[in-house]
Every structure is written in C-alpha cells, then in structure tokens.
Amino acid sequence: MLTKVMPTSMLTVGEVARILHIHENTVRRWSDQGVIKSYRFGVRGERRFEKVEVESVIARLNKNNSYERISL
C-alpha cells in the first residue's frame, strides 16, 4: 500500500488561523485571493500552507500594521 507523507512544515487552515488570530474562513478567503499561497492535498482537496509563507504574511501584516488591507 502506498502512503503519501506530507512535509512536516505544512500547516492546516486551523493552525494558520490560530497563528494569525483570524477566523478559518478568512484564511480560506486569503488563499482564494492569493494573499497566502496554499497547496491542495487528498481527495477532498484540503488546503495546506508552508510555515515560511505564513511567516511572510506575518511580516507583511507587521509592516502594514493592519489586517484590513493586506495585499501582495
């Protein structure tokens, strides 16, 4: 049986939401808008995010000092 192993540096929608202190739906929306890059895994197409990408978003938020207007 073949098993697919996800890299340990990948985070779930819930983990990203907790790190950024935002709602999970906001994480999904930002993913759809391209604010944060996500990867799809599994049959259900669950989103996963790289830790470095989340850190990049945090840096942009700190630079802008706002969650209201985050852009690429």
CATH number of 34's domain = 1.10.1660
Instruction: Yes or no: say if 37 and 49 are a contact pair by the CB < 8 Å rule.
Output: yes
Say whether pLDDT at 47 is over 50.
yes
pLDDT above 90 covers what percent of the chain? 67
pLDDT at 40: 94
Question: What pTM does this model have?
Answer: 0.77
Judge whether 1 lies within some domain: no
Note whether residue 3 is domain-resident: no
**Is residue 49 in some structural domain?**
yes
**pLDDT at res. 67:** 57
Alpha helices (H) in the chain, listed in sequence order: 13-20, 24-33, 51-64
Q: State which residues form the domain around 51.
A: 12-64
Tell me what the mean pLDDT of segment 9-15 comes to. 94
- What average pLDDT does range 14-36 have in this prediction? 96
Residues 41, 51, 21, 30: is their CA dihedral positive or negative? negative
Indicate the number of domains in the chain: 1
Give the residue with greater pLDDT, 36 vs 65.
Answer: 36
Residue 71 lies in a domain: no
